[in-house]
Amino acid sequence: GNSVTQMEGPVTLSEEAFLTINCTYTATGYPSLFWYVQYPGEGLQLLLKATKADDKGSNKGFEATYRKETTSFHLEKGSVQVSDSAVYFCALSDSETGANNLFFGTGTRLTVIP
Amino acid sequence: DAGITQSPRHKVTETGTPVTLRCHQTENHRYMYWYRQDPGHGLRLIHYSYGVKDTDKGEVSDGYSVSRSKTEDFLLTLESATSSQTSVYFCAIRAGGNTGELFFGEGSRLTVL
């Protein structure tokens, strides 16, 4: 079946620090992989995606590479800002059923302090 | 902006009462979803719809029903709310294309006392 295992938080970093949030997955077939971000009081926003092995998704300084050999999709940013404080969710697309839904990790809360 | 509106945004109700949450979209997308978000669980799929009057169950469908009589509206009903259904509920749509991403509404926070 499909599942996503995500690094537990919370994560607290100083501004300009390097960020890594680990994400590994289990899936049959060839899912697409996603990172979503949720700011306080808001819904989830798509941060980046990758649709096949070795693809790199990137947006707003964040990057993640689809690694099929390690079934991973780790999120990285070289220099975080206070405005990056949010909850980050790793997700994969359902490639087994007709639902076309997403399976989510449990989320990682990031707090960036000045 | 994916044109998704959820209502109500906040609701407090008592155990045993019926509750209906509404999701409205303006862009005529075929697939719509209801998820619930709980600490330690991320988002879990309750029900989804793949067209008018076409719906199916998700991972955590017990205690919930849905209806879709128009393309633009997808309703989630709790027939008799329980405290375990206290949660934040998100509606999502699947936009066009094959890459599978979903776009989410702003959420409806439900508290069952």
SS3 state of residue A11: strand
Asked which of A63-77, B15-29, B98-112 is least confident by mean pLDDT, the reply is: B98-112
Residue pair B64/B78 in contact (Cβ under 8 Å)? The answer is yes
Instruction: List the single best residue of A55, A95, A100 to mutate versus B (max B Cβ within 10 A).
Output: A100
**pLDDT of res. A2:** 87
The answer to whether B101 contacts A100, with C-beta atoms less than 8 Å apart, is no
Cβ-based neighbours of A90, under 8 Å, separated by 6 or more: A4, A6, A21, A23, A25, A33, A34, A35, A73, A75, A104, A105
pLDDT for position B111 = 97
CA distance A105 to A84: 19
How confident is residue B74, by pLDDT bands cut at 50, 70 and 90? very high
CB A3 within 8 A of CB A103: yes
Q: Has residue B1 got a pLDDT over 60?
A: no
Question: pLDDT averaged over consecutive 10-residue blocks of chain A (114 residues)?
Answer: 89 97 91 94 93 94 96 97 97 78 93 96
Q: Looking at beta carbons, which residues of chain B come within 8 Å of A4? A: 42
| Set of chain B residues whose Cβ sits within 8 Å of the Cβ of A107 | 42
